[in-house]
Amino acid sequence: GDSVTQMEGPVTLSEEAFLTINCTYTATGYPSLFWYVQYPGEGLQLLLKATKADDKGSNKGFEATYRKETTSFHLEKGSVQVSDSAVYFCAEAVGNKLTFGGGTRVLVKP
């Protein structure tokens, strides 16, 4: 079946460092791609999305580009803050079924 693979964490960074979280998907065709963020004790919140090849999703300084040729949707942020500490999930949607990666825990230290 379809699956999403993202880098395992935890990822530990200093404030203002550059963050990259790799994500690849396996669905054929043109699935919609998402990044969700989960803060401690909370549900998942949509961070950004892209629905077709070469689309760039962006929000709160985070960006991800839909790369059909490499089946990837890597998340990046140029300068992280302590408040970005959370678990980040990559997901693909085929039809109306959303499949998540395993999540990457990010810890930003002051």
Residues that bind another protein (CB under 8 A): 32, 34, 36, 42-46, 49, 89, 93, 96-103
Q: How far is the CB of 89 from another protein (least distance, A)?
A: 7
Question: 48 or 108, CB closer to another protein?
Answer: 48
**Is 82:109 a contact under the CB 8 Å cutoff?**
yes
In the bound state with another protein, the residue whose beta carbon lies nearer, of 13 and 33, is: 33
Smallest gap from residue 94 Cβ to another protein (A): 11
Q: 34 vs 73, which CB is nearer to another protein?
A: 34
Q: How far is the CB of 1 from another protein (least distance, A)?
A: 10
Residue placing its CB nearer to another protein in the complex, 46 or 82: 46
Q: Rounded CA gap, 101 and 24, in Å?
A: 9
DSSP characters over 14-44: ETT--EEE-EEE--SS--EEEEEEE-TTS-E
Contact, 108 vs 15, CB < 8 A? yes
- CA-based nearest residue to 7, from 59, 74, 71, 68: 74
Task: Find the shortest distance in angstroms from Cβ 98 to another protein.
Answer: 6
